Structure 1
Amino acid sequence: MVDPEIEALDGASLPMKGSDEFKPFIRRLPEFKFWYSITKAFCVAFLMTFFSIFDVPVFWPILLFYWIVLFVLTMKRQILHMIKYKYVPFSIGKQSARG
């Protein structure tokens, strides 16, 4: 005679409740909507180049500083994750054998 508790632990089983069901990965933004938004933004930006009202002079150091701040703010989570797991995406110097 096999104990039902032991039999239940043996191998895979069917889900017993709704929360046990397989849930596939669902994107928050579907691919079509992404490409549609990118295409629309590109077309608007391209059309804006034909009007002189949008030709605003920019002092390049301010633009560079603005780009660096945006990059750091958007990459903060990824950078902290890389630091946490000691991931360095580049190698410095020559590898030496330790032993």
Structure 2
Amino acid sequence: MSEGDSVGESVHGKPSAAYRFITRLGQVYQSWLDKSTPYTAMRWVVTLGLSFVYMVRVYLLQGWYIVTYALGIYHLNLFIAFLSPKVDPSLLEDSDDGPSLPTKQNEEFRPFIRRLPEFKFWHAATKGILVAMVCTFFEAFNVPVFWPILVMYFIMLFCITMKRQIKHMIKYRYIPFTHGKRRYTGKEEAKTFAS
């Protein structure tokens, strides 16, 4: 490879100004993401606020229903991944490989590990809203469609998908929310020792 052939390098071997700018922009963005990590409630409030602004914009413009439908499908997929375990218990049913969810009352406590962690869920949902918002500025994305059909189809899709997810949760006995390790009280321990 000759001098200056690598990505972002100028002929003299130093990074180009555009490459340095993009790298610096990425570092600042990542820094803001890192600082926002502990503020879960505030992040979701901002995302809900952006969602509200988007909905008001779509309502006032009376268009971009396909973009809104695509955003709804995207958010539904993110939500399902958020509710799903990282390792699908149906795949581990016959094999004893790797950790699995507890299925009996006396089994060891194992925390629920999500396929899509909360922070990545928030980040992807927020980016989706921002992309949809940008799409509303371009008339090419304003495809004419009878929006009540899209709403009915989305509601049906949501109900079918959630029904399947809830059946999966019941079958494999997991709850996608972990509040911490099981606590034992003195009375239960005393009964155990008395037996």
TM-score, normalised relative to structure 1: 0.48
Q: Work out which of the two has the higher radius of gyration on C-alpha atoms and give 1 or 2.
A: 1
Q: Which has the higher helix share?
A: 2
TM-score, normalised relative to structure 2: 0.27
Relative contact order, higher structure (CA 8 A, sep 6+): 2
